[in-house]
Structure 1
Amino acid sequence: MTKARVNSEMLYRELGSTGEKVSAIGLGGWHLSLKHVDEQMAIRIVRSAIDRGITFMDNCWDYNNGVSESRMGKALRDGYRDQVFLMTKIDGRSREAAAKQIDESLQRLQVDCVDLVQYHEILRFEDPHRIFDQEGAHAACLEAQKAGKLRYIGFTGHKDPYIHLHMLEVADQSGFKFDTVQMPLNVMDAHYRSFAKLVVPELVKRNIGILGMKSMANGILLNSNTVTPIECLHYALNLPTSVVITGMDSMEILEQAFEAVRTFHPMTEDQVQTLLSKTAEAGARGEFEPFKTSSIFDGTAQHPDWLGQEPQRLQQLMSAAG
């Protein structure tokens, strides 16, 4: 269990059926290595967040060529690691690629074990089959779990709620229950290919930890001029989320997250509908959710080599057919 500093500035929630209690706000790792954020500022943001009660740390093997993990690893020295629930993600679909990426993430984060590893960017209907193939990434994660390199297993995606449901279905066929699932949950999502409407109820039923992301979509939602940052965070916190992961690239944005927690109260149905009515027109076509409607956010589409090789037996089937 994470030795979190219970802090009155932060809310804490159960992480599905894991028995873990985590901060309702998670610190998004991608922003820690943006061009305008130097290493010292990244370390300051992480440590300030932890000092004030944020325990959930988000990262990924591919974020800014590993720089995000390296910076977080440096920030978690000097006793900070023991105060957080540390998550990272891998892109590998093959057993070999996944195992390699897990080890590289551990090295960058300077830890022997991460609390949660998630399969990143489940964007295609074939991704679940590749992962749960006998030569797939899931075999590597189970081996790493057995070896004490990771504790829990989840998956993420931002494209289509039906692909998330398919991932759960393929996992069921393999006799596996995920610990967490991560997805976009924001004031626009309710109006277009909605994860909140289609995936969240299924996760609640299964008692799987719900991780919300893209509450402001890196500021893109705010360009609609329909909602404020605090409203975006309040909406995501009001859903049955265990954690709302938000990017922090300055002390001001960190403060904004704590302001959202300080001012949050469970919303009535009328309050939710009033907020959603403000975003209905802007959100109707996915214009402000380009991660659903374009490939701009799809790192694995731009770097297919990250996925690893297709299963050998499928290649052999193709050869036999040829």
Structure 2
Amino acid sequence: MKEFDHKKVADLDLRAKFEIHEGVTRREFLKVAVVTSIAVGALGSRVWAIDPGERKGDMIYRTLGKTGERVSAIGLGGYHLGSAKDEKESVRILRSAVDHGITFMDNCWDYHDGKSEEWMGMGLRDGYRQKVFLMTKIDGRSKAGAARQIDESLKRLQTDHLDLLQFHEIIRMEDPEKVFQEGGAMEAVQDAKKAGKLRYIGFTGHKDPLIHLHMLETAKKHDFHFDAVQMPINVMDAQNAHSFENQVLPVLVKEQIGVLGMKSMGGGVILKSHTATPIECLHFALSRPTSVVITGMDKMEILNQALEAVRTFKPLTEEQVATLFSKTAEAAREGKYELFKTSTTFDGTAHHPEWLT
């Protein structure tokens, strides 16, 4: 293969550390780079036009992309639910969240070795399943592996179908090809959809916006349109050269793909900078064109914090965003509080490559 010109990539503000993997041609990579440069230029104002949603009681409801589904603007994060002190407390948190209007449930096949899904399944008994929009994720990249993980998730969650299934941790440049290849995970997911086991399809990732753009381009090559995409949305990402907000979000908005914001507090790491409060972090993410901002809740007080953020939410003005940026700019500069980008701390499949089979 002809040597790739990393200077051109640097000029487009992309990371030269990513190699061009087998199956990704130079032309395809440059096509993604052009999309990235357009997305950066499309950013314009730091104040986005957002779906104001509909406020009902304690909650705001927004539309999930082209699906037309109305979902709560705050979603309950499955990983942290599995960190609750015990199953009884996790059920209490989930049902209290639903009783206060949270309908979007996040989970993953691998969270706490399946415990998060099992506990969520217990919480969704007694009629609660019918009140929520249930999402989980799978790691398998092969058709057989993906099919097995889908069925295991359905069993743990005690349901016959998922409202949304997502390909988890698309964090490597070769992941899109593996998902869409012959005998890949997409075949299992499409089969599961035809069988009524799931309704909508999305993907997640947290490593680099370029990989998200490559996944979207790969989907287009296969005439496929994702219903939702999950990615970091936070005040520090927005100031980073490798920003999901600045590079991927304009593409999702243009293509009417539901935006699932995560890591509004960087897995709690951003709070350690002492430059922004949890409410400020949630208000910032809610002020982006997100359908849902997913946040972890392992204690009742954290659930109450999220509900308070919704109760007090008004879209941030340009002046408020500028003030928040000025407070966080120094901490955001080197990405030290976005460990999901700069380390393998949040890369479950890097520590357990067997999950990808």
The alignment's TM-score, normalised by the length of structure 2, stands at 0.84
Which of 175, 181, 206 is 2:255 aligned to?
206
1:98-113 matches, within 5 Å, as: 98-113=146-161
5+ unaligned residues in a row in structure 1: which ranges? 1-5, 309-322
User: Which residue of structure 1 lines up, in the alignment, with residue 124 of structure 2?
Assistant: 76
Which of 108, 121, 137 is 2:169 aligned to?
121
* Amino acid paired to 2:95: R
Q: Secondary structure at the match of 1:282?
A: helix
Q: Secondary structure at the match of 1:277?
A: helix
Aligned-residue CA RMSD (Å): 0.8
Listed one character per residue, the Cα deviations across residues 251-296 of structure 1 (whole Å, up to 9, x for unaligned) are: 1000000110111101111211211121111011110010100111
5+ unaligned residues in a row in structure 2: which ranges? 1-54
Moved over 6 A (4+): none
- In the alignment of these two chains, the number of paired residues is 302
Q: Secondary structure at the match of 1:92?
A: coil
Listed one character per residue, the Cα deviations across residues 188-237 of structure 1 (whole Å, up to 9, x for unaligned) are: 10122110100011000000000000111221101001000000000000
Which of 82, 85, 92 is 1:44 aligned to?
92
Question: Quick one: percent identity of the two aligned structures?
Answer: 66
Which of 207, 212, 229 is 2:278 aligned to?
229
1:1-322 matches, within 5 Å, as: 7-34=56-83, 37-192=85-240, 193-308=242-357
Listed one character per residue, the Cα deviations across residues 22-66 of structure 1 (whole Å, up to 9, x for unaligned) are: 0000000001122x5210000000000000100000000000000
Q: Secondary structure at the match of 2:76?
A: strand
Distance 1:233 1:133 in 2: 37
Q: Give yes or no for contact 1:91–1:306 (8 Å, CA) kept in 2.
A: yes
Distance 1:147 1:261 in 2: 37
- Report how far residue 242 of structure 1 moved: 0.1
User: Which residue of structure 1 lines up, in the alignment, with residue 50 of structure 2?
Assistant: none
- Report how far residue 134 of structure 1 moved: 1.3
